[in-house]
Chains A and B, each alone.
Chain A
Amino acid sequence: MTDEQARDLPPAEPVDTAEPAEPAEPAATWPVEPADTADPVANVDPVANVDPADGVAVARDAIDAVAELDAIDTVDIARGSPERPQPYAELGLADDEYDRIREILGRRPTSAELAIYSVMWSEHCSYKSSKVHLRQFATKALRSEALLVGMGENAGVVDIGQGWAVTFKVESHNHPSYVEPYQGAATGVGGIVRDIIAMGARPVAVMDSLRFGPADAADTRRVLPGVVAGIGGYGNCLGLPNIGGELVFDPCYAQNPLVNALCVGIMRHTDIQRAAAPGPGNKVILYGSGTGPDGIGGASVLASATFDEESARKRPSVQVGDPFMEKLLVECSLELFGEGLVVGIQDLGAAGISCATTELAAAGTGGMRVALDQVPLRDATLGPEEILMSESQERMMAVVEPANVERFLEICAKWEVPATVIGEVTDAPSLEMTWRGRVIVDIPPGTAADEGPVYERPYEPPPTWRACRPTRPDGCPGRATPTSCARPCCGSPRPRTWPTSRG
């Protein structure tokens, strides 16, 4: 063990008597005394049947295994160590938000719980600053019987007559697309396609709305080709034509492009699926790609003893898409829905498993119990906090009645989509997660999913706003009107058609 790793270990603290005694110093625990048969290290005998030359390495592995178990921040440990400092500020939580979590739980959160709240209460997931404004859509919009599903679900559903409905959703993926244009834009499409699947519809088309800095700026030239190719390429692999879009160049978008993608799907009224986990005893199934270290930069401050700085540097902050797996998810999910095997469904996007479990449980009839060890991993070194925060793409979570689990897994096997039962719905009002047999999460799911902070930030129009405000729809040069948006491209030496001729 390096000194750096040793520093990452939690400080010795008073522990709950229900836990196996924590060593003050990991090295002092060797040779290992099996303390608990549920512990993986109980079966590790560091000195049996080994070549003396390998003995040191084996012993080091055993010490690491013990250190990993001791590093697990369980609910019991959290109860017994209220003063342990936690890196909530590094995870983006404000002091009062952290205090609120402690108030909800009646104790400090475990590191896994802190991971969940930090991502679920982030601006990205909770819309804590924009919620007060967005709510106006629910209160001010005209009532319509054509709106079959409104705010709160993965996507809206609109009746188009004769028993048919369309569902569509538009979502931005701005920053990832600026960092890594192709993958950022591609996974933006992947995310909204899964939202459409989660509603029970077949995705049929994609559109996009793009804003870049000046067309001749070097940065635009770096970002634009990848964004256009990423949107087109990912959708094309799913058979989704890009049926339209818009493109505007304006200096205000330099270094800050806007990349919005829309997916539309069609379905029968009777096909509508909901994101909820009802029915105690029902199984929770994770299906699709394995969970890897995508998009979990923030989790590094929760690093366990096995997560060293070297591997942290290798971890991508932008997710990488696998459109073939997404295509399998489309077909597999529609077949599962067709046979009536699913009682609740949620796609995994931002905040991954944290979001899917808390939202499904909060919208269900009770709680949920999840064994995080069961989550299939692409990187075996991932700790529970990283698994909870991972934004690996092409994953879905379904709630299935026990009698239908076998058939569910059969259909997944037919499409060669990995599927794993990772938990079940309970009638307790809590979301409970275990890791290596120990309880590391025990929270009321609604507090993470629905009851995040809401802020009324001060706002005012920018000084230049009034001057720019159009008096007529086409009265503002440089804004997004059909005539003006084509204009900035005209001076470009590039052919104007290529971003729009990619089907």
Chain B
Amino acid sequence: MSSRVGVVTFPGSLDDRDAGRAVRLAGAEPVPLWHADRDLRGVDAVVLPGGFSYGDYLRCGAIARFAPIMESLVSAAADGLPVLGICNGFQILCESHLLPGALTRNTGLHFVCRDQRIRIENADTAWTREYTAGQELVIPIKNIDGCYNATAETLAELESDGRIVARYVDVNPNGSLRDIAGICNEAGNVVGLMPHPEHAVETLTGPTTDGLGFFASIGAWIAGGLVTTS
């Protein structure tokens, strides 16, 4: 049986359909989850997609952090449920304190949209097992609040614990410290990523199909018995 991967739709989510499609192309079953529900519908993993959750006129993700679905998600993530936050999803994970640090305004102050080269630094997380450490991918990035920031202590901890999942290569598009494109929690089940792997799953619409691995990784993680389903 294929794994069931929930995709949360907030009212301002924009990439929920693409994320669901990526899940399906990777061989798993996408399960729609609604921001106002507390029910995670027994899914094996959850994707928080990109967009503007509740408009984000306040700090990005600051209101989404209080969504009913997030109450269930925060406790399930603590129990080992794999969670992938992409772009706005990454911002929500930081606001929810499932991941350390914050995403702030790009240092160039402009919205950035480009095909971005990144390097996978940690291929042991729930969402990167299909890759090898050091592998380079090209996937789209599109944000204006994607500059990863954290204290020196946090950065040192992320480095020493191998919790930097991916770094920008060639160009740092938003001024992120240490070229950070993605990080994970200590257990490796919660991953935040600023670029959009769900937009690189088909050659017709994406620059590559390099993004598929994130969604394909989850099957191996679950098969390994490393997750407690809620």
Contacts and interface: CB of A to CB of B under 8 A. Distances in A.
Contact of A237 (B12, B15, B114): B12
Contact of A498 (B11, B15, B54, B110): B110
A12 B52 CA distance: 55
B11 A232 contact: no
A487 B11 CA distance: 43
A327 B52 contact: yes
B99 interface: no
Nearest to A415: B11
B7 to A, nearest CB: 15
A72 B110 CA distance: 50
B111 interface: yes
Contacts of A331: 11
B110 A327 contact: no
B12, B54, B57, B114 interface centre (most CB from chain A within 10 Å) = B12
Given A237-B52, A324-B55, A324-B57, A503 B113 contact: yes
Interface string A228-257: 000011001111010000000000000000
B51 A239 contact: yes
B11, B15, B56 interface centre (most CB from chain A within 10 Å) = B11
A239, A241, A328 interface centre (most CB from chain B within 10 Å) = A239
B67 interface: no
A233 B52 CA distance: 12
A236 B11 CA distance: 15
A427 interface: no
A146 to B, nearest CB: 24
A236 B111 contact: yes
B194 to A, nearest CB: 15
B142 interface: yes
A241 B55 CA distance: 17
A469 interface: no
Nearest to B15: A239
Contacts of B55: 237, 322-324, 327
Contacts, number: 44
Contact of B11 (A241, A416, A501, A503): A416
Interface string A174-214: 00000000000000000000000000000000000000000
A502 B110 contact: yes
A415 B9 CA distance: 11
Interface string B106-127: 0000111110000000000000
B172 to A, nearest CB: 16
Contacts of A415: 11
A322 B52 CA distance: 12
B25 interface: no
Contacts of B57: 324
A479 B163 CA distance: 54
A207 to B, nearest CB: 15
B107 to A, nearest CB: 15
B69 to A, nearest CB: 15
Contacts of B74: none
A237 B51 CA distance: 7
Contacts of B51: 239
In terms of DSSP, what is the predominant structure of the interface of chain B? loop
A189 to B, nearest CB: 14
Contacts of B112: 501, 503
A327 B111 contact: no
Interface residues of A, number: 19
A164 to B, nearest CB: 16
Given A324-B54, A324-B55, A503-B142, A239 B14 contact: yes
A502 B142 CA distance: 9
B113 A501 contact: yes
Contacts of B11: 324, 327-328, 331, 415-416
Given A239-B14, A327-B12, A416-B11, A503 B111 contact: yes
A422 B65 CA distance: 36
Contacts of A238: 14
A328 B52 CA distance: 11
A242 to B, nearest CB: 9
B110 A324 contact: no
Contact of B52 (A232, A324, A416, A501): A324
A328 B11 CA distance: 7
A326 to B, nearest CB: 10
A233 B11 CA distance: 18
Interface in B39-73: 51-52, 54-57
Contacts of B113: 241, 501-503
Interface in B1-28: 11-12, 14-15
Contacts of A236: 111, 142
B14 A502 contact: no
Nearest to A232: B111
Contact of A324 (B12, B114, B142): B12
A282 B110 CA distance: 48
Contacts of A241: 113
Contacts of B110: 498, 502
Nearest to B18: A239
B112 to A, nearest CB: 8
Contacts of B52: 237, 323-324, 327
Interface string A303-328: 00000000000000000001110011
A189 B15 CA distance: 20
Interface in A405-422: 415-416
B205 to A, nearest CB: 11
A382 B93 CA distance: 43
Contacts of B15: 239
B72 to A, nearest CB: 19
Contacts of A232: 111
Nearest to B11: A328
Contacts of A503: 111-114, 142
A180 B193 CA distance: 36
A503 B12 CA distance: 18
24 contacts: A236-B111, A236-B142, A237-B12, A237-B55, A238-B14, A239-B15, A239-B51, A323-B52, A323-B55, A324-B12, A324-B52, A324-B55, A324-B57, A327-B11, A327-B12, A327-B14, A328-B11, A331-B11, A502-B110, A502-B113, A503-B112, A503-B113, A503-B114, A503-B142
Interface of A: 232-233, 236-239, 241, 322-324, 327-328, 331, 415-416, 498, 501-503
Given A239-B14, A324-B52, 4 more contacts: A232-B111, A327-B55, A501-B114, A503-B114
The 5 closest A-B pairs by CB, nearest first: A503-B113, A324-B55, A239-B14, A502-B111, A237-B52
